Amino acid sequence: MQHFKLNRRDFLKATAVAGTMASAGSLLGGSLVPGAEAATTDDTQIIRTNCRSCTADCGVLAHVKNGRVVKLDGDPDFSRSEGALCVKGLSGIQALYHPNRLKYPLKRVGLRGENKWKRISWEQAIDEIAHKLMEIRAKYGAESVFASTGGGGNPNFNGACRFCDTFDTPNWFEPGAAQCYMPRTLIYGMAYGDNKSYQGTDTSLGDSNGVELYFYNERNAKSLVMWGTAPAYSGPSQAGRVLAENRARGLKTVVIDPRFTPDASKADIWLPIRPGTDVALGLSWVRYIIANKLYDKDFLQRWSNLPYLVNTKTKMMLRGKELFKNADDKTFVVWDTKTNSAKPLPFPYDDNLDPALDGTFTINGEEYKTGFQLLKERAEPWTLQAAGKECWLEPKSIEKAILMFAKDAPSSIALGVATDQTPNSTQAAQVTAVLHILMGYFEKPGVLLQRYEDKGVGGLLRTTKLKSFLSEAQLHKRLGSVEHKGMLHWWIAQPTAILEAMTTGKPYKLKAWLERSGNKLGTVANASAWVEGMKNLDLIVHIFLYPTSFSAYSDYLLPATEWLESDFITASLNKCFSRKAVTHLYETANEAWIWAQIAKRCGELGHENCKRSFDKAQTAPESPYYNTYEEQLDHWTSFFGMTWKEYKDKTPFEFTPMERFRRYYVYKEINPKTGKVKGFNTGTGKVEGYMESLIILGRTGQPFTTYPLPPATKDYDPLPYYLKPSESPDNEVGKEYPLVMTNGRLPFWHHTTLRNIPYLREIKPYAELWVHPADAKKYGISQDDWVQIESMRGKIHARALVTEGIAKGVVYMERFWNPENLDTPTHGWQEMNVNVLSKQTAPFNDLCGTYTLRGYQVKISKAKEAPKGIWTEPKQFEPWMPQVSDKTKTVEI
């Protein structure tokens, strides 16, 4: 097979020479593009690989002619996508050969923001960056260096985290995390158990869960609730397509979304919820299901912790040991209705008992309630009417949706990113986890929550954190995470706390930012505040595929490989696949290698931890850093007893047989070690609807921390609670800013990526503001008008899409930026970037520190004209069409 081989030594040698011919030039206009290299061979190869324009890894057949990628087809053998590709994946060629890609390491020569650059060698770039980092560390402490990463299909998501652990700084962040997925992985991990080596353990369709739906021919699922998720938009070639298959086979669906999305248009019930009020709705479901006894009593008694007695003063579950001799750690106490007395319940259960679900009991003078009772009391205020009022929904429709979820069984709730983007983030995950528990929707045929055994292939074989390298003193300094200990789950700092420190120097100064992702200014809340704060930094490095607005404020730009240039381990259900570097352009390098090189150089300059990080014995059980990416790949594939080359040549192969991979009722299987049923991987061995574990987390940092931490200022709530949106039409802010802003995906982009793809921008050249006709009329706006949108934090523009497909009083916008304005004073992030408006300040989610990306207040008015310089006509995107590249290298291996 023809294949480019990334020989790092040659690579560095070549670039060292090229670096001496440094030239200055702007990021646009291709002054850094040398002439084309002649073709070497004449045959077209079809190489099986995987996309990474988002995180879903769809199967791709790349047609490569003379080292140049000429066509992308879907791979019908990749079971999750079955030959489909979305428009993001289909943009792979225009992205790879984009004339404005970052081609070489660049160093700023003008003032920050002036956008003047000089080409330098990799050696020089790494050396200068490492020197600066070491200097800052000596002067301000390692914690003043921070890193960040983000979406855009980054496969080495933990690259930034691993570097920070190694450098002994606790500060890395991601604009997603607390705002995307972490609230769900945290809560489902606590409620359902720590299920690292399984697939399907939370219900995020956008994160390759909901695996059961892929077996659509079995027609097991009868209904599905899509809550704040729009798979036809966010993942059409996987979850979106699988929903279409399931619907075609009779699956009934409820869609809870302020927008009338494609999935909403095909749903049996659409609940256009007011953004930010999901927990109120969820609690009304809990209340209705309990009041109407729709729950699965047997499951609750045997397999949940809801019958366990909880001390109402301490909020802790009563341990068997406290009352009964010889009780073991997994014995808790229930109220037996047969004997009307407290009884120990050893794991898994005792058939002689009939544990009470509700009730208040007094034992030895102390008051106890069951978790179920506490839950019931918590949900009590949320009648259908109350929820209808708060969520702007019809009570009748809410009831219909609940009945579909409870009676068209088995069902599940696929919870999307929407609820992660408000301070109610973890509570929303909690209330949906509780709803699954009430209905016993675990590991049955047709439900989403499953433990399909993937041996960690899906999640573990990639860059991992290096938690043991972060010292105790430094862990204590992590910004925001002592108060918000849920962040320990992803081992991450809070964006707002980073912004605060960067801006005010409190609690300490931040001095260097290493950033790997697309346009951070399009993803962080209140982008303008970040640009202000960045002025206080001495070093800003941007690692990405092409320059974005963020690059304009940076000191060094390091070119990362596109997915068509990178090797990686991938998987689909029970099969292994491989992403292959089918070509290679210029001097782009794999991100994993870039981080390793910076660490290596810091080690050479005397950083002990960085030196140790290359020693396998010291990093075990995690991977060490390697000097080349090939060695890193070999390390990962050694899991299979293969080198990367052997692995890649063998793919696709089954890493586990389907019958081993896909098993129902894992909790009822016998654990050969104990001779008892396996149960769930939680503290109680049961699914936990009453989450005492959150109290322990808040007080100690367990189970995620490596060292004991001081308690948060208040205990985390073991039950879901509803926090009203802090900006709301019915409070002071709403008087000036009457409309609720929400956000959400479109099929064209992944986060802030791909705004520079001509074929995509031709379809969606500008940001649209969805507004209901009644509101449009009220504010004097007609279809296609340019509109000014303003929040307490800033103002932007968009074009009006007047539509019934959004509730009155709500407006919607997607994140947008304008690469065509990169070389102007706005650097493209100020025109239509909805995150100029979003809210980075308190209130935060208790556990994760989540701020507000959806559900804040704005006002709108007709604008005079479009923002300056933006491209709106198809022909304007011509300069971005693919061009002949240099340094496309083909090597026989």
Partner 1 sequence: MKKTALVIDLDRCIGCYSCEIACKNENKIDLGVQYNKVFTMGPTGSFPNLEMYYLPAVCQSCKNAPCVEVCPTGASYVDKDGVILVDSKKCIACMSCISACPYGARKFNEKQQYVEKCTMCSHLLNAGDQPACVKVCCAKARFFGDVNDPESKVSKIIKEAGSAARSLPDEGNHPATRYILHDKTAKWQNKKSWTFFENI
444 counts as binding ligand SF4 under rule CB under 6 A: no
Q: Is 681 helix (H, G, I), strand (E, B) or coil?
A: strand
Q: Output the residue with the shortest Cβ distance to ligand SF4.
A: 89
Distance set, CA 791 to CA 777, 815, 858 (Å): 20, 15, 5
Taking the least distance from each CB to partner 1, the nearer of 73 and 194 is: 73
Taking the least distance from each CB to ligand SF4, the nearer of 82 and 143 is: 82
Given candidates 88, 319, 662, 815, which one binds ligand SF4 under the rule CB under 6 A? 88
Taking the least distance from each CB to partner 1, the nearer of 774 and 842 is: 774
Binding segment (CB under 6 A) for ligand SF4, from list 55-63, 269-277, 375-383, 611-619: 55-63
- Residue among 247, 203, 244 nearest 222 (CA): 247
Distance set, CA 207 to CA 48, 60, 72, 153 (Å): 22, 19, 23, 12
- How many Å is the Cα radius of gyration of the chain? 27
Taking the least distance from each CB to partner 1, the nearer of 17 and 248 is: 248
Taking the least distance from each CB to ligand SF4, the nearer of 547 and 747 is: 747
Q: Which residues contact 197 (CB under 8 A, 6 or more apart)?
A: 453, 454, 455, 456, 459, 460
224 counts as binding ligand SF4 under rule CB under 6 A: no
416 counts as binding ligand SF4 under rule CB under 6 A: no
Phi, psi values for residue 804, rounded to 5°? -75, -10
Give one DSSP letter per residue of 689-726, joined into a string.
SS-HHHHHHHHH-TTT-SS--PPPSSPPPSS------S
Out of ligand SF4, partner 1, none, what residue 93 binds, judged by CB under 5 to 8 A for its kind, is: partner 1
Taking the least distance from each CB to ligand SF4, the nearer of 59 and 388 is: 59
The distance of Cα 173 from the centroid of its chain, to the nearest Å, equals 12
| Distance in Å, CB of 575 to partner 1, minimum | 21
Query: Longest C-alpha distance within the chain, in Å?
Result: 88
Q: Which residues contact 694 (CB under 8 A, 6 or more apart)?
A: 190, 716, 717, 718, 847
Out of ligand SF4, partner 1, none, what residue 51 binds, judged by CB under 5 to 8 A for its kind, is: ligand SF4
51 counts as binding ligand SF4 under rule CB under 6 A: yes
Note whether 445 and 410 are within 8 A (CB).
Answer: yes
| Distance in Å, CB of 226 to partner 1, minimum | 13
| Distance in Å, CB of 83 to partner 1, minimum | 6
207 counts as binding ligand SF4 under rule CB under 6 A: no
Note whether 125 and 105 are within 8 A (CB).
Answer: yes
Give one DSSP letter per residue of 431-476, joined into a string.
HHHHHHHHHT-SSSTT-S---EE-TTTTTTSS----GGGS-HHHHH
Out of ligand SF4, partner 1, none, what residue 532 binds, judged by CB under 5 to 8 A for its kind, is: none
Q: Is 165 helix (H, G, I), strand (E, B) or coil?
A: helix
Taking the least distance from each CB to ligand SF4, the nearer of 683 and 758 is: 758
- Could you list the residues that contact partner 1 (CB under 8 A)? 71-74, 83-87, 90-91, 93, 232, 236-237, 240-241, 243-245, 247-248, 260, 262-263, 265-266, 270, 272, 394, 397, 747-748, 758-760, 762-763, 772, 803-808, 873-875, 877-878, 881
Q: Sign (positive/negative) of CA torsion 569, 572, 574, 578?
A: negative
Binding segment (CB under 6 A) for ligand SF4, from list 233-241, 382-390, 433-441, 491-499: 233-241
Out of partner 1, ligand SF4, none, what residue 53 binds, judged by CB under 5 to 8 A for its kind, is: ligand SF4
Taking the least distance from each CB to partner 1, the nearer of 260 and 629 is: 260
| Distance in Å, CB of 368 to ligand SF4, minimum | 49
570 counts as binding ligand SF4 under rule CB under 6 A: no
237 counts as binding ligand SF4 under rule CB under 6 A: yes
Binding segment (CB under 6 A) for ligand SF4, from list 52-60, 280-288, 503-511, 532-540: 52-60
54 counts as binding ligand SF4 under rule CB under 6 A: yes
Distance set, CA 457 to CA 90, 151, 185, 452, 461 (Å): 26, 20, 17, 12, 6
Note whether 546 and 97 are within 8 A (CB).
Answer: no
User: In the structure encoding, which two tokens stand for residue 828, read together?
Assistant: 């493209």
Q: Is 864 helix (H, G, I), strand (E, B) or coil?
A: coil
Q: What's the chain's length in residues?
A: 893
Site size for ligand SF4, by CB under 6 A?
Answer: 14
Residue ranges that bind ligand SF4, judged by CB under 6 A: 51, 53-54, 56-58, 81, 85-86, 88-89, 235, 237-238
